[in-house]
Amino acid sequence: MAWINYTSGNISAFEEANPEAVVVVHEDDVARTALDFDDGTCRIKVTVIEHQKITEYRALTKETAEHLKAELTCIDKKRLLLSYSDSTYGQHHANCPDLIGTERLCAISRSNEAGCHRLTVTESTTDWDAEVPGEYVQYGMTGAGSDVKGDVRISWGHSA
pLDDT at position 106: 98
**C-alpha–C-alpha distance, residues 140 and 138, integer Å:** 7
Report, as an integer, the average pLDDT of 4-17.
Answer: 92
Residues 6 or more apart in contact with residue 144 via CB below 8 angstroms: 156, 157, 158
Predicted confidence at residue 37, as pLDDT, reads 92
Average pLDDT, integer, range 106-119: 94
Sign of CA dihedral 45, 28, 130, 99: positive
How remote is the C-alpha of 131 from its chain's centroid? 15
Q: What percent of the chain lies above the pLDDT cut of 70?
A: 99
> What's the pTM value of the predicted model, to 2 decimals?
0.86
Helix (H) or strand (E) holding 102: strand 90-110
Question: Residue 1: which pLDDT band, with cuts at 50, 70 and 90?
Answer: low
Average pLDDT, the chain: 94
Q: Would you state the pLDDT for residue 16?
A: 95
What is the amino acid identity at position 57? Answer: Y
Is the predicted pLDDT of residue 86 greater than 90, yes or no?
no
